[in-house]
Amino acid sequence: MPRTTTVESPGCPPLRALTFDALGLVKVIEAHDGQNGGAAKMVERWGEPDSSKCVLAISMLDREADPLVGIARTCGSVEVISAVNGDLRVHIPDLCQAAATPEDDTIIGLHLFQKHQSDSPSRSCTLLTCTTKGHATIESVEFGRAVADFVRDSSPTVWNVCGSGNILCSKVDESENYALFGGKGVEVNVWDLQKCVKTWTAKSPPKNSLGIFTPTWFTSATFLSKDDHRKFVAGTNSHQVRLYDIAAQRRPVMSIDFRETPIKAVSEDIDGHTIYIGNGSGDLASIDMRTGKLLGCFIGKCSGSIRSVVRHPELPVIASCGLDSYLRIWDIESRQLLSAVFLKQHLTGVIFDSHFRNGANIFGCCAAFTPVPVSAPVAQVANTVDIADVEAFPPKRKKVSKEERGSKKVKSKRSNKKLKGEED
């Protein structure tokens, strides 16, 4: 087991986040104003560790009363739980009935619809799922008094979003009228969810100046603006970030190369033009998609592949997590690390609870929060990290010139002769 020590970080404003990992666990992370200097820490753990229940996709029905979280697992099941206390509302064990085994066609995309949902507790939910082979389904589920007593839609909407290849990413826009899908061997395409009709398909970029064609391999995607479904951003396995505009053309309007490893996570900002990207080597950065300019990388490199990046709906922070088992909270202005929590398992996703209140108005807490400048030393709250990341290098020895070495030898010889004479 590696040695650990404590490093200091400025702490973050009051917030609540849920993380999901490779063993199927859900962990609740909270930061409270005035407690431990604003350090984020794990307060609850839901579920038992089981590698067959690895979380592949998540979606949150974010509302004031009775918020729900949808979880798609490797075993082919979908669960809907309460985001407040983790109570299981419904468990659908065999959603992928078309596959011989769940591993043949896992659920890679999941979305809980907000439409027609009020803030009052509801006994039903509508969800969209998509598998790696492109089988998409929209169905409603009514909750029963017991977890097993649920009623599924007798006539769900089912269609295929691709004829070949593997779907690796999907996203539903803010209006919940359109969804995009993409993957390995599957160009990004947009579907009208009301009619289940494909409205647009991307076209592969041309060969480069050397005549080399880059195979289609999309790893992540998101809509750029909440008000416009026509613009979206997609990350590729060839470390590119591409901007598409349905109203302009089928090929990318802009393509940006970022480092040398695949883009693993893409998230949009609430301003409608900034995105946050994380790659397979732990680099996290922000890009202005109006100009294609790299705004900067976040300070403090992650030590593993980033698998999820999410922007808080109200606070000026983002969260990232991945294979290094850390949940990290970052300030979007200074791009400085505010807090880090070690959660032991490989993390696959994170979401924020935007309705979390710390016994006070969240905007007041945010206004009182001032991030530490980038030049300031990182530290004020203890978090656990590997000691190799923070141990200082041993001080270098001062170089001694030849003349000094010679004079020292002469002095030592004289002192030895003097001592001999005294002994005689």
- Residue 389: the pLDDT is 38
Mean pLDDT of 71-75: 95
Q: Binning pLDDT at 50, 70 and 90, where does residue 206 land?
A: confident
Each residue's pLDDT tens digit, 325-339: 999 999 999 999 999
Helix spans in 156-305 (H): none
Q: Which residues pair with 5 in a beta bridge?
A: 385
* E strand or H helix at 139: strand 135-142
Each residue's pLDDT tens digit, 110-144: 999 998 554 445 688 999 999 999 999 999 999 98
pLDDT tops 70 at residue 360: no
- Residue 365: the pLDDT is 40
- Residue 207: the pLDDT is 84
Mean pLDDT of 7-22: 86
- Residue 328: the pLDDT is 97
300 versus 253: the higher-pLDDT residue is 253
- With pLDDT > 70 as the criterion, what percentage of the chain qualifies? 78
- Residue 372: the pLDDT is 42
pLDDT tops 60 at residue 316: yes
- Residue 234: the pLDDT is 98
- Residue 384: the pLDDT is 38
pLDDT tops 80 at residue 343: yes
Burial class (CB in 10 A: 0-12, 13-18, 19+), 209: exposed
Contact between 263 and 235 (Cβ < 8 Å):
yes
Q: Report yes or no on whether pTM surpasses 0.75.
A: yes
- Residue 11: the pLDDT is 81
Dihedral (CA of 413, 417, 420, 422) sign:
negative
pLDDT tops 60 at residue 8: no
Q: Binning pLDDT at 50, 70 and 90, where does residue 184 land?
A: very high
DSSP 8-state assignment for residue 77: -
97-106, 297-306, 388-397: least confident range = 388-397
- Could you count the other beta carbons within 10 Å of the beta carbon of residue 421? 8
Structure tokens at 266: 């893409």
Q: Locate tokens 């004031």: which residue?
A: 64
Helix spans in 344-401 (H): 362-368
Q: Binning pLDDT at 50, 70 and 90, where does residue 414 land?
A: low
Contact between 320 and 278 (Cβ < 8 Å):
yes
Residues 6+ apart with CB under 8 A from 71: 20, 26, 55, 57, 58, 78, 79, 80, 81, 110
Structure tokens at 193: 């969810």
pLDDT tops 50 at residue 70: yes
**How high does pLDDT run on average in the chain?**
84
pLDDT tops 50 at residue 376: no
- Could you count the other beta carbons within 10 Å of the beta carbon of residue 126? 19
All domains of the chain in start order, with CATH: 4-423 (2.130.10.10)
Residue type, 275: I
Contact between 218 and 183 (Cβ < 8 Å):
yes
Q: Binning pLDDT at 50, 70 and 90, where does residue 367 land?
A: very low
pLDDT tops 80 at residue 373: no
- Residue 362: the pLDDT is 40
Residue type, 312: H
- Could you count the other beta carbons within 10 Å of the beta carbon of residue 115? 8
